Structure 1
């Protein structure tokens, strides 16, 4: 049974101590390189000294158009190959190395990073525990003079003696610390995926896809995002260590790098909400993909139009249906048996946020959330935003909206977290309901339609005119509904107060009668035996006490 990790809480795993276990998985170390022969020689020497069994370790060096061409140094692992990639760019070079790799695990490694002798073993002990992990090393940046490859391979004095003093990767250290090791706040855990020294299960990497060659910078983060959508858990391992020869690009030019990378990754990483502050524009990868189940034209239109008019513009809407069978009806369009399909297609054919999809399941796409909604149920303007808030803030993998219960069963809308369902597919046992696996790994929540503003189409407001006017009208209707609900609550409270006041009045009448009776009894007693005036109050209290005790008995 595949271990089930909730969220990004990798601490439930217990990796064996380095040197105390027997490896079985093969690993391919992919090293893209452009020039820098002297540093590449040290990288290969470090790989030759690895404690991981050399027969399970292959190295693929990718020469990305170096001049002169790179060569393999004398000190290198036995299973080392050199492949050429003439297409410029690190992403293209990594993809070429990935295509040549044969290992169960792919270990990205930059051509200027020398690994500690047990670094690969430190990574692979995790991969033997679960197939959906991404492991990143603790790197230090050194400006020490370059030693010889033989000195690195021998490692008699250790790498610290060769490369210290060195600085940590401050950005990664800060990320890990402020997120509780990526466990307390896992929303940006995918940012841990860096190409310098990170390993990924080959099957998980295949599910996520190769590097995006359209990007200038930020390729590692973008792939990390897609790995997250494929179900990955990200693990920073301080026992996996390495030395970066020279400062990183980010350390040298962070502001300039952010300026360039943000221009591209905003289009591809919906989770970086601060990069999508524009209130209306569309992006390559939407935040939400909504699928509206088939229905009649009027029901479909009511549902789709409400989604498009909501406060989450960062979405696309899929309309599955047999669109390919439609043909123009020239003679009697009103009697066309597919008239509703024709009307739906005609109404949304040129709406860029609506896609007419086939009856076959669509391939997985990297949007973080998917909404599945029956036609004829209309979300309020804030409904989707509120569902997204509860899913994101509390980490749920699935939020179900109970729309109605019929004789045929429950009708529900579903907001699904893509990462949760991808991981559930990895860990689920044959025949297991995937929702149960989602519940184990991320959690499932049920909410009611009224609370989140879902209504049947016949009772829903129609979005008309400017969006602001529609918002104002819906807000006014919501306020009227709120005030009516508050009035009902107050009426109930008043009724309860009146009932309580009646009980008090009845009790007061009874007490007045008791006091009158006692006064008469005291008056009669005074005639028989006078009581000092100063003792009247005490005598009255004692008489009342005796009377109450008598009633209790």
Structure 2
């Protein structure tokens, strides 16, 4: 039974210890794109030649990406090693050629300047024997030490003596540490790197090859698509390898970011900080809204689509499904055309950039897909709120109750792409080839058992549509004009700035009051000290005066007794 991993919590898996007696059965294809640097490639292949994973289960595909002079295969290499030549420049093209030629159950990317430790492949493959939807990443160490020769690498039990001291892959290790080993993050796919990462071949069948238009950032974009295909990402500190020299980002981080950020922003919606513009459109939207126009009236569909487009969430696209191939614009009697509503919808949205008229649905690379019945309109902030609910609670499905009557319920569904892709990977083989696959991608039915899989691996939630601002199309109010909406935003911003200034003013006043109170406290303390001193002086004076008074009284008594004796003597 395939393990059901919730989110990215791969800790439910228990891989065997390295070097223990377990029986490998999966074949791995190591794809090594290379350009020049024959000496480094020789070390990479020398490291692969002495792996502890069975040699008959390893194939290595070296792809020469336009080297001059051409690369060659050295004497020290794995038994099953091939050399391909890719005439198209670019790392993505080279990797895609190797991917197309690979026959392994697992694809293991490895750059031609990486030297793996003997257990590196075994460390990866022990995980892939536990589940078919994993992506495992090695811990790389970056070295600038003088290079040994290939024979020394092949004979060494521990490569550290050649390559230490080294630097860690700092940003990956920091991310792993901050997220409990990637078990608490929405962006675990970020650690997918081409230097030393392995992925189940079935995942690549779902996610597709690398994007050749990506000049930089290919690994991140590929990792994102793997996540949408249902992947779980595992960093393995026991899968160790050495990177010969610093990475491109280490050498020139600012230039790398300048080139890669626009490309990544267009294709990876969950990197919200890269999408700074509030209203522009992107190649891959954050949300796809699906409205089925088949059998629906034009007015109902328009009420729903127009409300979606008028909302505060603009990073979206709308797919209006229907039998568009049956629409014939050349009808002689348009008013009696059985597809008149579709004709009107095509006229209404034919030139709206955020709306596409499609006959069916394909797998989505958008992280979320909302299925909304025609005739129901979300409020201005509804989609943002529902999306926020799903993201905050890591939900795979949010079902929204819109109406209920004796015939059943009417509802909408917000589906997480990666959750339903993971569920599709977990259904039994006969389901994956038929109905289960259809339901997993939402092309028919109400989800059936697939919803149960989604609940198990991500979680589901029922929400009340009225609470979140959904109304029937007839009850929806007029949409604010662009100018009115702009004025409202400006006014709201002005109010925020006014309140911010007022808060700062009050804070300043409070600070003054606190300072004044401090002065009064200090004055009161001084007064108390002075009063205490005066009290001590008075007490001392009283004691002094009391002693003087006693002495005077004694003298008076003595004098009185003497006078008495004198008086009595004279009298006698």
Answer whether TM exceeds 0.5 for this pair. yes
- Residue of 454, 469, 472 corresponding to 1:456: 472
Q: Secondary structure at the match of 2:401?
A: strand
Q: Partners in 1 of 2:286 and 2:93 — Cα distance?
A: 27
Correspondence for 1:244 = 243
Report matched runs for 1:129-528 at 5 Å: 129-156=130-157, 158-185=158-185, 187-294=186-293, 295-328=296-329, 331-358=332-359, 361-429=360-428, 430=431, 433-466=449-482, 468-469=484-485
Judged with a 3 Å threshold, the aligned counterparts in structure 2 of structure 1 residues 94 and 469 are, in CA distance, closer, same or farther, namely closer
TM-score by length of 1: 0.83
Structure-2 residue corresponding to 1:2: 2
- The alpha-carbon distance between structure 1 residues 111 and 229, as it changes in their structure 2 partners (threshold 3 A), is same
Aligned equivalents of 2:395 and 2:243: distance in 1? 38
1:469–1:88: structure 2 CA closer, same or farther, 3 Å change rule?
A: closer
CA contact (8 A) 2:266 2:283 kept: yes
In structure 1, how many angstroms separate the alpha carbons of the residues matched to 2:424 and 2:258?
Answer: 37
Cα shift at 1:77: 0.5
> Are the equivalent residues in 2 in contact too, given 1:105–1:200 (CA < 8 A)?
yes
Cα pair 2:86 2:97 within 8 Å, conserved: yes
In the alignment, the residues of structure 1 paired with residue 23 and residue 105 of structure 2 have an alpha-carbon distance, to the nearest angstrom, of 16
> Structure 1 residues 468 and 275, CA, compared in 2 at 3 Å: closer, same or farther?
farther
The structure-2 alpha-carbon separation of the partners of 1:468 and 1:3, relative to structure 1 and needing over 3 Å to count, comes to farther
The answer for unaligned runs of 5 or more in structure 2 is 437-447, 493-572
> SS of 1:199's equivalent?
strand
The TM-score, its normalising length taken from structure 2, stands at 0.80
Shift, 1:211, TM fit: 0.7
Superposition deviation, residue 113 in structure 1: 0.5
Taking the TM superposition and a 5 Å limit, the aligned residue runs for 1:536-547 are none
Following superposition, the deviation at residue 276 of structure 1 comes to 1.0
What is the distance in 2 between the residues matched to 1:448 and 1:175? 37
Conserved? CA contact 2:288–2:316, under 8 Å: yes
Q: Does 1:46 align with 2:62?
A: no
Q: How many Å separate the matches in 1 of 2:76 and 2:330?
A: 74
CA RMSD of superposed structures (Å): 1.7
> Partners in 2 of 1:133 and 1:267 — Cα distance?
25
- Tell me the CA shift for residue 470 of structure 1: 9.1
Paired residues of 1:329 and 1:336 also in contact (CA < 8 A): no
Alignment correspondent of 2:122:
121
Cα separation, 2, equivalents of 1:254 and 1:287 = 27
C-alpha change, 1:286 and 1:72, in structure 2 (3 Å) is: same
CA distance in structure 1 between the partners assigned to 2:97 and 2:487 by the alignment: 51
Aligned counterparts of 1:451 and 1:333: Cα–Cα separation in 2: 41
Mean Cα displacement is larger for which, 290-299 or 107-116? 290-299
Question: Partner residue of 2:13?
Answer: 13
The farther-off stretch of 268-277 and 404-413 is 404-413
Alpha-carbon distance between aligned partners in 2 of 1:381 and 1:370, rounded to the nearest angstrom: 18
Residue by residue, what CA displacement relative to the aligned partner does 1:449-474 show, whole Å, maximum 9, x if unpaired? 1111001111111214226449959x
Aligned CA distance change for structure 1 residues 330 and 228 (closer, same or farther; 3 Å): closer
CA offsets, 1:218-255, max 9 Å, x none?
A: 00000000000000000000010000011111111112
SS in 2 for 1:267: helix
Deviation of 1:330 (Å):
5.6
Deviations 1:385-406 (A, max 9, x none): 0111111111000011111112
Residues 331 and 36 (structure 1), Cα distance of their counterparts in 2 relative to 1, 3 Å cut: closer
Q: CA deviation at 1:343?
A: 1.2
Distance 1:339 1:55 in 2: 63
Secondary structure class of the residue paired with 2:187: helix
Q: Deviations over 1:20-53 (max 9, x none)?
A: 2110000000000000000000000000010000
What SS does the aligned partner of 1:266 have?
helix
Q: Which has the larger radius of gyration?
A: 2
What is the CA deviation profile of residues 44-83 of structure 1, one whole-angstrom value per residue up to 9, with x for unaligned ones? 0000010000000000000111011101111111000100
**Which residue number corresponds to residue 482 of structure 1?**
none
- C-alpha distance 469-171 of structure 1, shift in aligned 2 (>3 A): closer
Give yes or no for contact 1:309–1:467 (8 Å, CA) kept in 2.
Answer: no
Q: Kindly tell me: are residues 118 and 375 of structure 1, through their superposed partners in 2, closer, same or farther at Cα, counting changes over 3 Å?
A: same
Runs of 4+ deviating beyond 6 Å: none
**C-alpha separation in 2, matches of 1:356 and 1:94:** 34
The answer for the alignment partner of 1:526 in structure 2 is none
- What CA deviation, in whole Å up to 9, does each residue of 1:70-120 have, x standing for no partner? 011111110001000011111111111111111000000000000000000
Q: Provide the rounded CA distance (Å) in 1 between the counterparts of 2:207 and 2:124.
A: 20
CA contact 2:331–2:337 (8 Å) conserved in 1: no
What is the count of residue pairs matched by the alignment?
Answer: 471
Residue number in structure 1 paired with 2:499: none
Residue 306 of structure 2: SS of its match in structure 1?
A: helix
CA contact (8 A) 2:139 2:240 kept: yes
Mark the runs of 5 or more structure 1 residues left unpaired by the alignment.
477-553
